[in-house]
Amino acid sequence: MRFGLLLLLAALTACSNPSPYVTTIGILKPGTSIAVRIGAGTLNVYQPEAGQRRDLFTVAATALPKGTPPPAPRLVAAPLGVVVKAPAAYASILVRVPDGVNLVVQSQRGDVNVTDITGNARVVAARGNVTLQFPGYAQAAVGAGNLSVMMGATQWPGTLNFSTRHGDIQVWISAKAAFAVRLHTGNGVLFTDFGLRGTSKGSSETIEGNVNGGAAQRVDIETSAGSIRLLRLQPQP
């Protein structure tokens, strides 16, 4: 499919200016996806700005304070949406995701922050902290870094996987959700306020059980070295 490209601004600014040096705005319809592949830099993802059309996406890159700005992120049409290719090193990349559009992230180095998008997300980060907070559901894998997930969904397809090789994990899931769960750390401590008990062997711990009677949907959380906290997300009054 093709994505609608409305505007491309590529105005180079002084390296000391923290403003984006390139911004791309386009259209994506609900049910599609935007995939972001970033080499290095902080990635911040939000919904469209207040007053902005809800089917618009934005990709804005900010250069590092010294040196020549890297090539602008390249946008490529994909069968289910658009792919943003940003293999260089950036200070940061801002992405605004339209309503009902899903997000896929591959990051080599740098923090990933996703807040208040209305679609779902899947994140793979080799090095850096990952923070996800939105009303849908997520999956995430981190190499070296901490993972924090706050998701509002009570239903999701199959199994949601959250993992790190070296880093702590915190996952908040709606207190109303019914699911089967497995938590495992190779070297660390497990905690959950969902009323589940586990077993330990040496430095490793495992908790496995059902929440609210269980269901076909599952959650699997694992780290090779780090602590895991699975917490209740209480609905807002």
The pLDDT, as a whole number, for residue 4 is 54
The mean per-residue pLDDT over the stretch 4-19 comes to 48
The 10s digit of each residue's pLDDT in 52-86 is 999 999 999 999 998 899 999 999 999 999 999 99
Q: Among 100-104, 126-130, 199-203, name the one with the lowest average pLDDT.
A: 199-203
> What percent of the chain lies above the pLDDT cut of 90?
86
For 90, the token pair is 């950036």
Extents of the domains making up the chain: 1-134, 153-237
Check whether 2 has a pLDDT greater than 50.
no
Rounded to the nearest angstrom, the gap between the alpha carbon of residue 211 and the centroid of all alpha carbons in its chain is 24
The pLDDT, as a whole number, for residue 70 is 95
Question: For 140-187, what is the HEC assignment?
Answer: EEEEECCEEEEECCCCCCCEEEEEEEECCEEEEEECCCCEEEEEEECC
In angstroms, the first-to-last Cα distance of the chain is 41
Dihedral of alpha carbons 170, 36, 72, 22, sign? negative
The mean per-residue pLDDT over the stretch 110-135 comes to 98
Mean pLDDT of the chain: 92
Euclidean distance between CA atoms 210 and 218, whole angstroms: 9
The 10s digit of each residue's pLDDT in 159-188 is 999 999 999 999 999 999 999 999 999 999
The pLDDT, as a whole number, for residue 236 is 66
For 144, the token pair is 């070296």
Residue with tokens 């010294």: 66
Check whether 136 has a pLDDT greater than 60.
yes
Check whether 1 has a pLDDT greater than 50.
no
